[in-house]
Structure 1
Amino acid sequence: MIADNRVNTPLDELEIGHVFRSPGRTVTETDVVNFCMLTGNWIEIHSNTEYSSKTRWGERIVQGQLTFSLISGLLQFGPAIQANYGVDKLRFLHPVKIGDTVYATGEVIAKKDKDDKFGVGTFLIKAYNQNGDVLQRSEWSILMLRKRADLEELMAQATPIFKD
C-alpha cells in the first residue's frame, strides 16, 4: 500500500511493508552545472555535449550522486527522523537525463530498537523517472524516535515557523 509522501511516523507505529511516495522533481541543466561546480565532478559524460553524443547514451547524463541527493530531499523526512544511520546496497540502474522527472518510493523493510526512545528503521528506497524506469535502489537505515509521546514532546519544544 502506498501512503502519504512524508515519513513522520514514530518507528513503533510503522508496519513492515508500509510504502510511501515522494513528490516528483524535474532535473535541469542548472542542477547539473551547479553540482559540477559544487563537487568538482566535471567528468565529460556529465559536462561535455560533444563527447557525450558519442557514448552509449548519446547525450549527457546526470551524476548518480546528484540524483541520490535529489531523492534524499524529495523524501521529506519529518521530525520523527533523528539522523541518517547509513546507506547500503546503493546501485545506479538506469541513466538520468536532463529533463527527466524523478521521484522515489520507500518501503519499510526492517525495524530495530536501540533503546526506550530510539530505534533504527530500514527502508528500501527506489528512485524512478517519469516512465517508471527504476533509476537507483538502496537501503537506508535511519535513527528514529520510537514513540508518539516523544515526537509530540519534541514538537511542543520546537520553534514555530509561523506566528499569529
Structure 2
Amino acid sequence: MTTSTNLTIDKDIDMPLDEIEVGRVFRSGGRTITETDVVNYCALTGNWIEIHSNKHYAEQTRFKERLVQGSLTYSVMTGLITFGPSIQANYGINNLRYLTPVHINDTIYVTAEVIAKKDKDEKFGVITLLMKALNQDGYVCQKSEWSLLMLRKREDLEALVGASLPTERPKD
C-alpha cells in the first residue's frame, strides 16, 4: 500500500470506476463528534450502553470518560467521503477494527485509499477502499476495507445523470 504525501482535501468520489487508479487517496476535512451526536445516536439506535451514556460509570472505567459509539464513528467516517451517482450500492465491509477510543469532542478526519478494483460485468465494477478515521492528534481510531458497487464507464454515468434530471416543460 502507498502512503500519500498529498495533504489537500479531496473527498469527492464522483467519477466512474475506469477513471480511478489503485493507490489514489481521498482525504476529508474534519468533523467534531459532540455530546449531542452521541445522545442522538443513543436515542436513534437504542444503544444506551453505559460507556456511552452514563458519565459516572464511564469515570470508573479505564477510559475515565464517556466514549463515542464505534458505529457512530463509522457512520461519520463514511459520511465525510462524498460519493457521486457512479456509486450504486454498498457491497460490503471487511476487517472493521476499533484501534483508538474516540472521545466526545474529538475531531475525525478520513483517508480512503483505493486498494483494489475489479470489473463485475460490462457495466459495473467493485472498488475497495481502505478507510481510516484519524483523530485530531493523528492517531488512527478506526479502519476498515469498504467495497462499493459502481458504474465503470463515463457514458453510463452520464446516461444515468441525464435520465434522472427533470426537463423543464412549458406551461400550457
SS of the residue corresponding to residue 84 of structure 1 reads strand
Name 2:150's counterpart in structure 1: 144
Residue type of the alignment partner of 1:113: D
TM-score, structure 2 as length reference: 0.89
The partner residue of 2:81 within 75, 85, 89 is 75
SS of the residue corresponding to residue 31 of structure 1 reads helix
Residue type of the alignment partner of 2:144: S
Give the CA deviation at 1:159: 2.7
Give 1 or 2 for the bigger CA radius of gyration: 2
Residue type of the alignment partner of 2:94: D
Q: Give the 5 Å matches for 1:1-12.
A: 1=4, 2=6, 4-12=10-18
Name 1:90's counterpart in structure 2: 96
Residue type of the alignment partner of 1:84: N
TM-score, structure 1 as length reference: 0.94
Name 2:65's counterpart in structure 1: 59
- In 1, the alpha carbon distance for the partners of 2:77 and 2:84 equals 15
SS of the residue corresponding to residue 68 of structure 1 reads helix
Residue type of the alignment partner of 1:135: C
Aligned length: 160
- In 2, the alpha carbon distance for the partners of 1:15 and 1:81 equals 16
> Deviations along 1:129-161, whole A, 9 cap, x unmatched?
11111010100010010011111111212236x
1:114 is the counterpart of 2:120: yes
Mind listing any 5+ residue stretches in structure 2 that lack a counterpart? 167-172
> Deviations along 1:33-70, whole A, 9 cap, x unmatched?
01111111111100111111111111000000000011
Mind listing any 5+ residue stretches in structure 1 that lack a counterpart? none
SS of the residue corresponding to residue 58 of structure 1 reads coil
- In 1, the alpha carbon distance for the partners of 2:138 and 2:22 equals 24
Name 1:128's counterpart in structure 2: 134
Name 1:13's counterpart in structure 2: 19
1:105 is the counterpart of 2:111: yes
SS of the residue corresponding to residue 52 of structure 1 reads helix
> Deviations along 1:60-113, whole A, 9 cap, x unmatched?
000000000111111111111110000000000011111111121101111111
- In 2, the alpha carbon distance for the partners of 1:55 and 1:135 equals 19
Give the CA deviation at 1:18: 0.4
- The RMSD of aligned alpha carbons is 1.2
- In 1, the alpha carbon distance for the partners of 2:139 and 2:14 equals 27
